[in-house]
Homo-oligomer: A and B are copies of this chain.
Amino acid sequence: MSPSQTWWNGEPLSASLWSSRGLHYGDGVFRTMLIHDGQVVDRDAHIAKAVSDAAVLHLHAPDSLHDEITAAGRDVSNGVLKLLLIRAGQGRGYKPQTSDTDRLLIRYPMPELPAGNAQHGIAALRSPVTMATQALLAGIKHLNRLEQVLASRDWPDGVSEAILGDDRGQPVCGTRSNLFWVSRGVLHTPALDRCGVSGVQRGKLLAIAAQKGLDVRIGSEAWSALIAADEAFVCNSLIGIWPLRALDERQWPAPGPITADLMQALAHPTLLAS
């Protein structure tokens, strides 16, 4: 048998990633973390979520994650740290041969985040892309992200996020954020048991709301419930919270009072800096 041979844009390629099951199948999970003042923010929560997401794909996260993530943030004033946990082994054949993972850790410079987004809110649109229902993968941050790519195309100027719905027309999440709204003092966020990604900031906010004694409803609700809300916002680990000041034609004062209260309680470094 001749050995395998590889060309990358017509040139020989000798690196190992060409055969990665991450590239061929998206057989892995990832986390996107904020580095602030030499610390990886919410590091342990991110590691815990990476470990539990990996387990859904029957993947085992290595014990070295904690030390490697800590070291990658040390002496860095700010930045983004992305972790990919990818099933080890070659790309030929869908059948998983191992639960071992390769880990790819990438440190990026901090992107420009307009301070006004947190202070005055963002405009969002309802995405024409419907998220597929796949309970086996719902809630985890895996590497199959074509729906998010499709939903990130063709935003008009001034739009900062697109909100996706499921095949029942119910809102689920943003392309890169979780979604919350407030109706008559109750904090609402979609259940993520059919599609969508459950983020670390979402978990923190639910814990904060519980601590504050705020009424919370986690469930599936009609799009009209979101539109009828008194306040709405999105969150993720890089931005903290961005209030919604517009969703298509619907406009809100942003941030609303409960959103402002949650922003203060979350005390996210990006929000504190803005």
A26 on interface, CB distance cutoff 8 Å: yes
- A274 to B182: give the CA distance in the assembly, Å: 66
Q: Is the CB of A167 within 8 A of B17?
A: no
A211 on interface, CB distance cutoff 8 Å: no
Q: Which residue of B lies closest to A3 (CB)?
A: B109
**Cβ of A155: which chain B residues have Cβ within 8 Å of it?**
95
- Tell me how many chains of this kind the complex includes: 2
**Cβ of A104: which chain B residues have Cβ within 8 Å of it?**
6-8, 13, 18, 23
A224 on interface, CB distance cutoff 8 Å: no
Q: Is the CB of A132 within 8 A of B134?
A: yes
**0/1 per residue, A19-37, Cβ < 8 Å to B?**
1111111110010000000
Interface size in chain A (residues, C-beta < 8 A): 76
Q: Is the CB of A102 within 8 A of B8?
A: yes
Q: How far does the Cβ of A26 sit from chain B's closest Cβ, in whole Å?
A: 4
Q: Which of A136-144, A241-249, A259-267 contacts B (4 or more CB under 8 A)?
A: A136-144
A92 on interface, CB distance cutoff 8 Å: yes
Q: Is the CB of A167 within 8 A of B20?
A: no
Q: Is the CB of B26 within 8 A of A145?
A: yes
Q: Is the CB of B102 within 8 A of A9?
A: yes
> Which among B25, B102, B130 is the interface contact of A145 at CB below 8 angstroms?
B25
A150 on interface, CB distance cutoff 8 Å: yes
- A269 to B163: give the CA distance in the assembly, Å: 49
Interchain residue pairs A-B with the least CB separation, the first 10: A15-B15, A132-B132, A144-B144, A1-B109, A17-B17, A94-B152, A132-B134, A25-B145, A95-B152, A26-B26
A-B contact pairs, 26 of them (CB 8 A): A1-B109, A2-B107, A4-B109, A5-B107, A8-B103, A10-B103, A15-B15, A15-B17, A17-B23, A21-B149, A24-B30, A25-B148, A26-B145, A82-B92, A94-B148, A94-B176, A95-B152, A95-B155, A96-B149, A129-B136, A132-B133, A134-B147, A136-B147, A137-B147, A143-B146, A144-B144
